[in-house]
Amino acid sequence: MPSVRNSHEEERSLASEIGDLRDAVMGLKEQVDQVLEALQLIYSREPENRERLRRLRKSPEYERAYTDPSPLVSIVIPTYDNYEQLRERSLPSALDQSYPNIEVVVVGDSAPQETEDAIASFGDPRISYRNLNRRGPYPEDRNRFWRVAGVPPRNEAVYQARGSWIAHLDDDDSFRTHHVERLLEAAVSNRFEVCYGRMTCHLADGRQFEIGEFPPTHGHFGWQGAIFHKGLSLFETELADALFGLPADWALCQRMLRAGVRFGMVDESVTDYFPALGRPGEPALPGEGPKIDR
Residue-wise pLDDT for 188-197, tens only, equals 999 999 999 9
The model's pTM is: 0.82
Give the separation between CA 156 and CA 133, rounded to whole angstroms: 12
Q: Is the pLDDT of residue 97 over 80?
A: yes
229 and 116 assigned to the same domain: yes
Report the pLDDT value the prediction gives residue 283, as an integer from 0 to 100.
Answer: 45
Give the count of domains, the chain.
2
Asked if residue 54 belongs to a domain, the reply is no
Report the pLDDT value the prediction gives residue 281, as an integer from 0 to 100.
Answer: 39
Report the pLDDT value the prediction gives residue 13, as an integer from 0 to 100.
Answer: 72
40 and 63 assigned to the same domain: no
Under 8 Å CB-to-CB from 153, ≥6 apart: which residues?
Answer: 78, 79, 80, 107, 108, 109, 132
Radius of gyration of the chain (CA): 23
133 and 4 assigned to the same domain: no
**pLDDT, tens only, 209-245:** 999 999 999 989 999 999 999 999 999 999 988 887 8
* Secondary structure of the chain as H, E, C letters: CHHHHHHHHHHHHHHHHHHHHHHHHHHHHHHHHHHHHHHHHHHHCHHHHHHHHHHHHCCHHHHHHHHCCCCCEEEEEEECCCHHHHHHHHHHHHHCCCCCCEEEEEEECCCCHHHHHHHHCCCCCCEEEEECCCCCCCCCCHHHHHHHCCHHHHHHHHHHCCCCEEEECCCCCEECCCHHHHHHHHHHHHCCCEEEEEEEEECCCCCEEEECCCCCCCCCCCHHHEEEEHHHHHCCCCHHHHHHCCCHHHHHHHHHHHHCCCEEEEEEEEEEECCCCCCCCCCCCCCCCCCCCC
Report the pLDDT value the prediction gives residue 30, as an integer from 0 to 100.
Answer: 63
Q: Is the pLDDT of residue 108 over 70?
A: yes
Report the pLDDT value the prediction gives residue 37, as an integer from 0 to 100.
Answer: 57
Give the separation between CA 282 and CA 146, rounded to whole angstroms: 7
Report the pLDDT value the prediction gives residue 241, as an integer from 0 to 100.
Answer: 86
Tell me how crowded residue 205 is: count the other CB atoms within 10 A of its CB.
Answer: 6
What is the average pLDDT across 44-63? 90
Does residue 161 come out as left (phi exceeding 0), alpha (psi in the -120 to 50 range) or beta? beta
166 and 38 assigned to the same domain: no
What is the average pLDDT across 129-147? 90
64 and 40 assigned to the same domain: no
Q: Are 81 and 109 in contact (CB under 8 A)?
A: no
Asked if residue 282 belongs to a domain, the reply is no
The domain that holds 268 is classified in CATH as: 3.90.550.10
Asked if residue 68 belongs to a domain, the reply is yes
242 and 163 assigned to the same domain: yes
Tell me the C-alpha to C-alpha distance, in Å, between residue 232 and each of 28, 31, 196, 262. 38, 34, 15, 11
112 and 248 assigned to the same domain: yes
Closest CA to 174 of 76, 272, 95: 272
Residue bearing the bigger pLDDT, 30 or 114: 114
Give the separation between CA 91 and CA 254, rounded to whole angstroms: 28
Give the separation between CA 75 and CA 166, rounded to whole angstroms: 6
Asked if residue 278 belongs to a domain, the reply is no
Q: Are 256 and 266 in contact (CB under 8 A)?
A: no
Asked if residue 50 belongs to a domain, the reply is no
Asked if residue 123 belongs to a domain, the reply is yes
Asked if residue 147 belongs to a domain, the reply is yes
100 and 196 assigned to the same domain: yes
Q: How many CA atoms lie within 13 A of 249 on its CB side?
A: 29
Q: Are 212 and 266 in contact (CB under 8 A)?
A: no
Q: Which domain holds residue 142?
A: 59-273
90 and 5 assigned to the same domain: no
- Rounded mean pLDDT of the chain? 87
pLDDT band at 27 (very low <50, low <70, confident <90, very high): low
22 and 159 assigned to the same domain: no
23 and 80 assigned to the same domain: no
Asked if residue 51 belongs to a domain, the reply is no
196 and 227 assigned to the same domain: yes
Report the pLDDT value the prediction gives residue 293, as an integer from 0 to 100.
Answer: 40
Give the separation between CA 184 and CA 188, rounded to whole angstroms: 6
What is the average pLDDT across 266-274? 96
